[in-house]
Amino acid sequence: MEEEGCRWYLFGAQAVNVWGTPRLTNDVDVTAKIPENGSPDAIRALARHGFRLRFDADDDFIRRARVIPLVHESTDLPLDLVLAGPGFEEDFLARAAIVSVDGVDVPVITPEDLVVTKVLAGRPKDLEDVRGILRVRGDALDLGRVRRLLALLEAALGQSDLVPAFEELWAETR
């Protein structure tokens, strides 16, 4: 990604393994800011580093799904490359923390932003991930930012359940 001048960050279960209670996962999730119509260049650059498309995802699929489904050839590990859009994802990119993972510096979504994405997803495994992050990082988190971002999402989505869901998880872990 850096060869192509693309900013990126690790999120999903791999980021949970950095910030919270480790869990197994079947893939790696990355968000990247790729220039408009730059997905063919990104795919070629990733191919030079041992990645290939998992299935025949044409430009129309990638544009609609905003995901490039890849697999690392030598390890057979799937990689979902999410194409960052304007707004929250760009903010997450700007705040990504550089973390040393086995001696390699990797940009990782901040624990606060990860909590927000997991509360928004709302699946049982995501909520368990939030519990793990709160248990491990609780007092070190910027809880005000988490609450502000969740409130902004509630307003944007016409929902009123995100902040209360977070507050319930916070209470459970105290």
Predicted local distance difference test score (pLDDT) of residue 149? 97
CA distance 60 to 116: 29
Residue position matching structure tokens 């209360």: 164
CA distance 31 to 165: 25
98 residue type, one letter:
I
DSSP state of 96: P
**SS3 for 48?**
coil
CB 69 within 8 A of CB 27: no
Predicted local distance difference test score (pLDDT) of residue 37? 64
Return the structure tokens found at 138.
């609780």
The dihedrals phi and psi of 31, each to the nearest 5 degrees, come to: -110, 135
- Judged against a pLDDT cut of 70, whether residue 84 lies above it is answered with yes
Specify the higher pLDDT residue, 68 or 134: 134
* Sheet containing 77-83, strands listed edge to edge, beginning at the edge strand earlier in sequence: 51-53, 67-72, 77-83, 28-33, 7-11, 104-108, 97-101
CA distance 5 to 20: 30
Nearby residues of 143 by Cβ (< 8 Å), 6 or more positions away: 170
Q: Where are the alpha helices (DSSP H) in the chain?
A: 12-19, 39-47, 59-65, 88-95, 111-121, 124-137, 143-157, 162-172
Predicted local distance difference test score (pLDDT) of residue 129? 97
Predicted local distance difference test score (pLDDT) of residue 38? 67
**1-109: CATH class:** alpha beta
CB 121 within 8 A of CB 107: no
- Judged against a pLDDT cut of 80, whether residue 67 lies above it is answered with yes
Mean pLDDT of 147-170: 97
pTM metric for this prediction: 0.90
- Judged against a pLDDT cut of 70, whether residue 30 lies above it is answered with yes
